[in-house]
Amino acid sequence: MSAVLPATVPAPQTPFRRFLEEFFDSKLATLGFALLAAIVLVALFAPFIAPHNPYDLAKLDLMDSRLAPGEQGLGGASYVLGTDGQGRDMLSAILYGLRVSLYVGVVSGIIALTLGALTGVLAAYAGGRVEQFVMRVVDIQLGFPAILVALILLAVLGRGVDKIIIALVCVQWAYYARTARSAALVERGKEYIEAARGLGLSGTRIVLRHLLPNALPPLIVVGTVQVAHAIALEATLSFLGLGLPSTEPSLGLLIANGYEYLMSGRYWISFYPGLALLATILAINLVGDQLRDVLNPRLAK
């Protein structure tokens, strides 16, 4: 109705501004966004903020191992969150660990989203045998527990950030494909696609320029949830000792290292990385939830 009465609207409202307004309507989501922004910034600038470089073995001092938070080492360095069994500063290790977690989560998310969305939309657009084939592959893929597939892949591929990303993409693309297909199926029946066909546009152009952009909102929602998933999965794999080398610990590996010391009361080696992981996943999920509410037309106020 408001479209008919533009004069009553005081400020010009672009869709993006409306989106922002709706998004920041929720206090929880604002908090989540602030937390996420802070984590991303800290992770990006970790090399400048962190008091030590936890990956430089030459800078570690074994004699400073297992210091409690706030204690001073032999060389006079003080460790705000303590040190682990190798004398690694926990604060620095967490900052660098966050960097790895976010990098792995986001990069694997983007690749999986691209791959999944393309196959999903193609399946929906092509229909018939192609669709049947693609969707059965997706079904089979989703039939396996994600952790199992990732474990097997990493056992074969070996260690390294790139290998973890490959494993995570293999595990995740199916979620995107399924979402993209259902969104595209809805869009395919709409008039503008028929109009585009009537105009004689090529298939690729219809899929890429018309179908895909309109199927994007649900994919973004799935994407945020999946990034959180990917981060948790990476932490799980690292906890199990697969993935990254032990001299360059990510959050999961830090937690695993500290786990052995929990019984003897050195809680900080596990606790603080655990807290950082929890905060990251929580923040992403809060933002994701609100995105889902805002982008879903059925839930619009």
Partner 1 sequence: MRLRVLLAGLALALPLQAQELNIGLSTPVTTMDPHFHNLTPNNSIAKHIFETLVGQDDQQALKPGLAESWKALDDTTWEIKLRKNVRWHDGSPFTAEDVLATLKRIPNVPNSPASFAIYTRPIADAKATDPHTVVLQTRAPHPLLPNDLATIHIISAKMAGMGTPDYNSGKAVNGTGPYRFGEYVSGDRVVLVANDKYYGARPAFAKVRFRMITNSAARVAALLAGDVQMIEAVPTADIARLKKDARVALASTVSNRVIYLHMDSGRERNSPFVTDAAGKPMEANPLRDPRVRKAISKMIDRNAIASRIMEGEARPAGQFLPETFHGTSKRLSPEKYDPDGAKTLLAAAGYPGVFGLTLHTPNNRYINDEKIAQAVAQFLTRGGIPTKVDAMPSAVFFSRGSKLEFSFLLAGWGAGTGENSSPLRSLVATFDRSLGNGAANRGRFSDAGVDAMIHTALTTIDDTKRGLMLAAATDKALGELTGVIPLHYEVSTWGVKKGLAYKARVDQYTLAHEVRMTK
Rounded CA separation 150/164 (Å): 8
**C-beta closer to partner 1: residue 11 or 62:** 62
The 3-class secondary structure across 226-265, one letter per residue, is HHHHHHHHHHHHHHCCCCCCCCCCCHHHHHHHHHHHHCCC
Report in angstroms how near the CB of residue 264 gets to partner 1 at its nearest: 5
Report in angstroms how near the CB of residue 152 gets to partner 1 at its nearest: 14
SS3 145: coil
x/- mask, partner 1, residues 20-49, rule CB under 8 A, reads ------------------------------
Contact between 14 and partner 1 by CB under 8 A: the answer reads: no
Q: Which of residues 222-241 bind partner 1 (CB under 8 A)?
A: 241
Question: Which residues, other chains included, contact 61 with Cβ-Cβ below 8 Å and sequence gap of 6+?
Answer: 73, 74, 75, 87
Task: Report the residue from 32, 54, 82, 87 that binds partner 1 according to the rule CB under 8 A.
Answer: 87
**C-beta closer to partner 1: residue 66 or 292:** 66
Report in angstroms how near the CB of residue 97 gets to partner 1 at its nearest: 16
In contact, 43 and 95? CB cutoff 8 Å: yes
- Return the bridge partners of 200, or none: none
Per CB under 8 A, the segment of 23-31, 84-92, 101-109, 130-138 that binds partner 1 is 84-92
Contact between 85 and partner 1 by CB under 8 A: the answer reads: yes
Task: Report the residue from 65, 182, 214, 285 that binds partner 1 according to the rule CB under 8 A.
Answer: 65
- Return the bridge partners of 78, or none: 72
Q: Which of 90, 92, 89 is nearest to 50 (CA)?
A: 92
Rounded CA separation 117/245 (Å): 32
Rounded CA separation 67/265 (Å): 12
**C-beta closer to partner 1: residue 4 or 263:** 263
Q: Which residues bind partner 1 (CB under 8 A)?
A: 56-58, 60, 62-63, 65-66, 85-87, 159, 241, 245-247, 259-266
